[in-house]
Amino acid sequence: MTDRIFDLTDSTVIFEFMGEMKMENISCIYRENWLIEILSGFSLLAGTAYFGIDTFNRLINHESPVVDSGTLMISGGIVAFGFALLPFRYKKIYPGGKWQLRTIDLNSF
């Protein structure tokens, strides 16, 4: 379940809907990988744009066939690559060991 953090204390996190929860009860955190998100979105857009531009160019130049099989395979591959990156958008982080949950008081700096 996803929720927004409403407030933080020394040892608890207060969520908007779930209420107060101790930090030791948090089993995992999902961290968003912005590079994968950008690359995935760009791949989906680039594959679709390549297909559209090449097909439109062949249409206005009266070339046959309008949809080239090479263009279809290349643009399909780029779009498939964009969809294949979607499961890697979030990284699951387990607290304990290497990762620690801490609150930082920004007013102390």
Per-residue pLDDT of the chain (109 residues; tens, 9 = 90+): 677 888 888 888 888 888 888 888 888 888 899 999 999 999 999 999 999 999 999 999 998 899 999 999 999 999 999 999 999 999 988 888 888 887 776 666 5
Question: CA–CA separation, 13 vs 31, rounded Å?
Answer: 17
Question: CA–CA separation, 3 vs 21, rounded Å?
Answer: 12
Its pTM stands at 0.70
- At 37, is the secondary structure helix, strand, or coil? helix
What are the extents of the domains in the chain? 1-27+95-109, 29-93
Question: CA–CA separation, 8 vs 21, rounded Å?
Answer: 10
